A and B are shown apart, each in its own frame.
Chain A
């Protein structure tokens, strides 16, 4: 299969390029991958310092770039994303100059004698240290990850993609460069290009006969476990983790979407109306799913003293869904909203790219097909999905009681 995915478009003014390096998800490698993400966009042989490099991005009409590692179930994807104005909206040659620039960053790193330049290495390390430390300040992200750890330590869902400080200490300018060579040589590579580009622009990233591995991970079901941790915060964070094992593709893509909307995504959802509007227990409450890890998460910001009441109200709503206690008209409006959100995907280049990515990695339908399929979801389908939802972990990051 071709690994250069060109999505032609005549409407938008920018080209968006995503270059993905895919590896087996591995807890020990994540910190190094994150550092690699930082170091490659900080400098190169030609642009030795971040300042020189960033000035060049401004010359290219403010070319935008970012890099990050994400987990797609059992695989980790290291992404480099670039956006730049097309020639007709900037000047002739801007696109090709931008592609040359990208090539320089990815394939001509600031390294010699088998190791990264020590100065840029230290800078990238400082950045990653601060990024790891900063996670503790984001209580929402922290409590979600802690719940995932308590639910299943083995699951790639619980890996902190920034990495950890202990692993960071083991990284040297030499072994990081070795990883770089391995990533370039042995990863599965995919290029997604949205805009006005040609396949030939990406000849340097062309690969043949790449093998893809399966991505979906399932955690074991068990008796519900409750974990409470304390922190000096005003609002307590409640996170509930549910198993969602054995979903078929149709269920994952369509039945589950309607289920989630009815339970905890729409402003008319059970969680929003029963927990927020009727009981005033919270400002935020929502349900979401991470299907590649076969799980569903409900989060809410609450007052610590309302913990038990909120949990039992949530459990009650989940039960109602299993019993099919929802109306046909709610299902119909859920479908409308979901279709409208599909429509919006088609109008956002970043989302369009993501639909191509999930098509490649997860075998998901592209938007046109989705619009048809969602209409076919029946009441019974939703109840079937509801029955597969099993509460696994209740986690509370407990703050002050007010």
Chain B
């Protein structure tokens, strides 16, 4: 077992690697009574075509999410819902573009809960009947998301920015996609990706580390043959520069999606993203001159939002907002983004905010769990010095990163009533 410490914020993380390759990260916090565990599988909605040995397999879109639902089906009829509610423990699962997570949290019956988590995710039970039954439930889930204007705009923006990259498709798929899913598709995915070296467990809160390792060592996941995911080649240009769509809304909304090639970045992606976030905060954030200008012209009333989303060789900078005059606001945003000027005061305020964010992490077993999960997903290791690294962020690198971005390579979607 190896111990890591996040310097300055007082959080320890212990790593244990099981004999069959399953990694376990534990961050105990004895000041609280509850625990939170998440099992993360490196498989998400983007992974549609893959090769197992020499066989090429393609599954319908939305399969990753469908499988997550169906993982809850068990041969003896005792679902995780049944099992955990009897123990007084909460459980859930979620799927994103690049991963699937199975979680539980509570304050009693930790060892039973952990054992069950590793058991049920290791025992798929997909039948013709239970796959068909799930389609009605997932259809309602998809329809619910289709009624969310913000989500719809966001998805459309990704669809228009990319030509081939699977991030352009909905995580849950369309209703017509999920109707095609069969139990064979689910087993194909399961057999390829649900294997010990392609997943890791993160536990935070109050729990017994020794028992955790004991139970984890007994996991029944089996090593599989070599799998590689095949991602389609994506060109640098956006697929569609401009589109107007209709939505059941009152105030028009817009999304700008700036497409950046990050193929050559390795570990430095972390700093790269920090510099970009600093820049976006400075140019568009609540304390920006742009926000003040737009407020004074009565063009916006709420903050502009921004988000960075990575998918293989590309990253999207997605900026969204609400306004009666989207064209004018978009023009102002693009003008501001291209007029880069270093502002030391803002730079230091951004550092202060980032430090405050790190400091806050340790107070909450959920935040620290998802933080560790993310860090392992991206970096595959614990970065002990992240707090101290904030002070290493510097003007020279900042300038280099920002000037490397082509702010003309973007796609716009406007949603009107």
A contact set with B: CB distance below 8 Å: 11-14, 49-51, 54-55, 58-59, 61-62, 85, 89-90, 119, 122-123, 126-127, 129-131, 133-134, 136-137, 139, 231-235, 266-268, 272, 276-277, 280-284, 301-303, 329, 333, 335-337, 339-340, 343-344, 346-349, 399, 402
Are the C-beta atoms of B31 and A11 separated by less than 8 Å?
yes
Asked if B33 is an interface residue, CB under 8 A from chain A, the answer is yes
Contacts of A346 in B (CB 8 A): 33
The B interface is mostly helix, strand or loop, or mixed, namely helix
B85 beta carbon closer than 8 Å to chain A: yes
B31 surroundings in chain A (CB, below 8 A)? 11
Cβ-neighbour of B349 out of A59, A232, A282, A335 (below 8 A): A59
Smallest Cβ-Cβ distance to A133: which chain B residue: B250
Closest Cβ of chain B to A325, distance in Å, is 18
Inter-chain contact A123/B295, CB cutoff 8 Å: yes
- Report B284-319 CB contacts with A as 1/0, cut-off 8 Å: 001111011001101001100000000000000000
A50 cross-chain contacts in B, Cβ below 8 A: 286, 291-292, 295
Q: Is the CB of B295 within 8 A of A85?
A: no
Closest to A279 in B: B136
By the criterion CB–CB under 8 Å, are B85 and A55 in contact?
A: no
- Bound CA span A90–B286, Å: 22
* Residue B1 CB within 8 A of the other chain: no
**Are B107 and A268 within 8 A (Cβ)?**
no
Contact of B88 among A119, A272, A277, A336 (CB under 8 A): A336
Contact check, B108 vs A340: say whether CB atoms are below 8 A apart. yes
| Chain B residues proximal to chain A, CB less than 8 Å | 31-34, 81-82, 84-91, 106-108, 133-138, 140-141, 143-144, 146-147, 149, 248-251, 286-289, 291-292, 295-296, 298, 301-302, 322, 349, 352-353, 355-357, 359-360, 362-365
Bound complex: CA A333 to CA B82 (Å) = 10
Residue in contact with B289 in the complex, picked from A51, A137, A231, A284, CB distance below 8 Å: A51
Indicate if the CB atoms of B251 and A134 lie closer than 8 Å. Answer: yes
Of the residues A11, A119, A131, A283, contact of B140 by C-beta under 8 Å: A283
- If the complex has contacts A49-B292, A127-B302, are A283 and B353 also in contact, measured as CB distance less than 8 A? no
CA distance A61 to B362 in the complex (A): 16
Contact (Cβ within 8 A) A284 B248: no
CA distance A59 to B352 in the complex (A): 7
Whether the Cβ atoms of B349 and A268 lie closer than 8 Å is no
- If A58-B353, A137-B250, A139-B147 touch, whether A333 touches B87 (CB-CB below 8 Å) is yes
User: Taking CB as reference atom, which chain A residue is nearest B281?
Assistant: A58
Inter-chain contacts of B91 with A (CB < 8 A)? 267
B363 — which chain A residues lie within 8 A by C-beta? 11-14, 349
Q: Which residues of B contact A267 (CB under 8 A)?
A: 81-82, 84-85, 91
For B108, give its contact among A13, A329, A336 (CB under 8 Å): A336
The one of A59, A340, A399 in contact with B89, judged by C-beta atoms closer than 8 angstroms, is A340
Contact A89 B33 (CB under 8 A): no
Contact assessment for A54 and B287 in the assembled complex, using a CB-CB cutoff below 8 Å: yes
Instruction: Select B144's contact among A12, A131, A301, A336, beta carbons within 8 Å.
Output: A301
Contact check: which of A268, A277, A347 meets B33 at CB < 8 Å? A347
> Which of B82, B87, B302, B359: most chain A CB closer than 10 A?
B359
Contact B88 A303 (CB under 8 A): no
A282 engages B140 (CB within 8 Å) = yes
Find chain B residues with CB under 8 A from A54 CB: 286-287
Nearest residue in B to A268 (C-beta to C-beta)? B85
Beyond A267-B81, A329-B86, list 14 extra A-B contacts (CB 8 Å). A13-B363, A49-B292, A54-B287, A55-B287, A62-B356, A123-B295, A130-B251, A134-B251, A235-B147, A280-B133, A333-B87, A336-B108, A337-B89, A339-B88
Q: Smallest distance from the beta carbon of B291 to chain A beta carbons, Å? A: 7
A-B contacts, 7 listed (Cβ < 8 Å): A50-B291, A137-B149, A235-B147, A266-B85, A283-B140, A336-B86, A347-B34
Distance in angstroms between the alpha carbons of A272 and B291 in the assembled complex: 45
- Look across to chain A and name the residue whose beta carbon is closest to the beta carbon of B105: A344
Give bound CA distance, A191 to B111, whole Å: 41
Chain B residue numbers with a CB within 8 Å of A134 are: 250-251, 322
Partner of B136, one of A85, A281, A344: A281
A343 and B34 in contact (CB under 8 A), knowing A50-B295, A58-B353, A62-B356? yes
Nearest chain B CB to A272's CB is how many angstroms away? Answer: 8
